Amino acid sequence: MQHRSDFNVWGIPGGNAEEGEDLQSVAIRETMEETGIRIWNLRPFGFGSDPQFETVTFPNGDVCQFFVMMFYTDDFEGVPVVGDDESKAVGWVHPDALPDMLPNMRRSVEAFQRFEGTGVFQMI
Residue type for position 28: I
Between the alpha carbon of residue 17 and those of residues 30, 54, 92, 107, the distances in Å are 9, 17, 24, 22
pLDDT in tens, 53-76: 999 999 999 999 999 999 999 999
CATH number at residue 113: 3.90.79.10
- Containing domain of residue 10, as a range? 2-123
Q: Which of 122, 109, 89, 123 is nearest to 12 (CA)?
A: 109
CB 44 within 8 A of CB 12: no
Q: Strands 43-48 and 122-123: what pairing?
A: parallel
Total tally of structural domains belonging to the chain:
1
What are the residues facing 72 on neighbouring strands?
A: 43
pLDDT in tens, 86-105: 899 999 999 889 999 999 99
| pTM assigned to the model | 0.92
